[in-house]
Structure 1
Amino acid sequence: MFLTRTEYDRGVNTFSPEGRLFQVEYAIEAIKEPSSVEKIMEIDEHIGCAMSGLIADARTLVEHARVETQNHRFSYGEPMTVESTTQALCDLALRFGEGDEESMSRPFGVSLLIAGHDENGPSLYYTDPSGTFWQCNAKAIGSGSEGADSSLQEQYNKDITLPEAETIALSILKQVMEEKVTPNNVDIAKVSPTYHLYTPSEVEAVISRL
Structure 2
Amino acid sequence: MEPSSIEKIVEIDAHIGCAMSGLIADAKTLIDKARVETQNHWFTYNETMTVESVTQAVSNLALQFGEEDADPGAMSRPFGVALLFGGVDEKGPQLFHMDPSGTFVQCDARAIGSASEGAQSSLQEVYHKLATVQPGQNFHMFTKEELEEVIKDI
TM bracket, shorter-chain basis? 0.7 to 0.9
Q: Which runs of 4+ in 1 moved over 3 A?
A: 195-198
In the alignment, is residue 43 of structure 1 matched against residue 12 of structure 2?
yes
DSSP-derived class of the 2:8 partner: strand
Matched positions, count = 140
Indicate conservation of the 8 Å contact 1:38/1:52, yes or no.
Answer: no
Say which of 192, 200, 208 aligns to 2:138.
192
* Cα distance in 2 for residues equivalent to 1:85 and 1:144: 26
Say which of 49, 52, 68 aligns to 1:83.
52
Q: Which amino acid aligns with 2:29?
A: T
In the alignment, is residue 114 of structure 1 matched against residue 60 of structure 2?
no
Unmatched 5+ stretches in structure 2: 1-5
Pairwise mapping of residues 150-169 of structure 1 onto structure 2 (< 5 A)?
Answer: 150-157=121-128, 160=129
* Cα distance in 2 for residues equivalent to 1:56 and 1:42: 16
* CA-atom RMSD in angstroms: 2.9
In the alignment, is residue 102 of structure 1 matched against residue 77 of structure 2?
no
Pairwise mapping of residues 1-210 of structure 1 onto structure 2 (< 5 A)?
Answer: 39-99=8-68, 100-157=71-128, 160=129, 192-193=138-139
Q: TM-score, normalised by structure 2?
A: 0.80
Unmatched 5+ stretches in structure 1: 1-36, 166-190
Indicate conservation of the 8 Å contact 2:55/2:85, yes or no.
Answer: yes
Q: TM-score, normalised by structure 1?
A: 0.59
Indicate conservation of the 8 Å contact 1:38/1:53, yes or no.
Answer: no
CA drift of 1:156 comes to 2.1
DSSP-derived class of the 2:40 partner: helix
CA drift of 1:38 comes to 6.6
